[in-house]
Amino acid sequence: MTKQEALFEYLLRRADDTLILGHRLSEWCGHGPILEEDIALTNLALDLVGQATELYQYAAKVEDKGRDEDDLAFLRLEREYKNVLLVEQTNGDFGKTIVRQFLFDHFQILLYERLMESKDEQIAAIAAKSIKEVKYHLKHSSEWVIRLGDGTEESHNRVQESVTDLSRFIDELFYQDEVDELLIKEGVACDTSEFRSTYDANIKAVLDEATLSLPKEKWQLDGGRKGIHSEHLGYLLAELQYVQRTHPGMEW
């Protein structure tokens, strides 16, 4: 594998994570539990799609095969998407959406803090710009986890159920293979294993305050980085890609 191939794959993974999660959050537009949260979730979605756009633009440049960010976002098949399984899980209720965001935000903040030091100037610039948004995302999701976990008996039980369910996807956030190894040696990517203990401590601190806990069972699911997804992604892509597939080459 060449450095160019590894960099393209790495950028796709990061872009797919943010695009798919952004689309999931966009499904809340007009359906939020209160007006303020309807707007907040929509803005989070816009932030994530914006991050994905910049990553896809750079990926298209690295690939150098005539594709652009729209081609990469909308015109690939399900097995060609490399996002982690966590971000494609269905929204469920508001609490489940918040828990999914919470688990992702705590990873994303630690990742971008280190990618700001990347020897790849474009990646460093994207990370520096994106981290301002991610800091807000993290504050928003953590505060809601505490509010719901330490709220009513019903809110506590429902959010605890979501924590138990979605914790199965945590390990995949830290998945690394030859792509990462090559780019870590080049100083382009960061070794996520170096901040796994920090991640665990950070989410535990919030969960403790929320009177919530991770399950003792350590059974985990993965496959997303290899293009093996849950049943949810195909339905998501059918909606996400509908206009591009129905009206190919259209411009607005």
- Parse the chain into domains and list their residue ranges: 3-246
**Widest distance between CA atoms in the chain:** 55
| Secondary structure (DSSP) of 152-212 | -HHHHHHHHHHHHHHGGGHHHHT---HHHHHHHHTTSS--GGGGHHHHHHHHHHHHHHTT-
Is 178 exposed, middle or buried (CB count within 10 Å of its CB: 0-12, 13-18, 19+)?
A: exposed
Identify the band that residue 162 occupies on the pLDDT scale cut at 50, 70 and 90.
very high
Weakest-pLDDT range from 92-101, 176-185, 197-206, 217-226: 217-226
Q: With a cut of 90, say whether residue 218 has pLDDT above it.
A: no
Counts for the chain of helices (H) and strands (E), in that order: 12, 0
Q: With a cut of 90, say whether residue 32 has pLDDT above it.
A: no
Torsion of CA 47, 49, 51, 57, to 10 degrees: -150
Identify the band that residue 66 occupies on the pLDDT scale cut at 50, 70 and 90.
very high
**% the chain with pLDDT above 90:** 91
Q: Do the Cβ atoms of 225 and 180 come closer than 8 Å?
A: no
- Span 48-73, average pLDDT: 97
Identify the band that residue 248 occupies on the pLDDT scale cut at 50, 70 and 90.
confident
Identify the band that residue 170 occupies on the pLDDT scale cut at 50, 70 and 90.
very high
3-246: which CATH topology? Ferritin (1.20.1260)
| pTM, to two decimals | 0.95
Q: Average pLDDT, whole number, for the chain?
A: 96
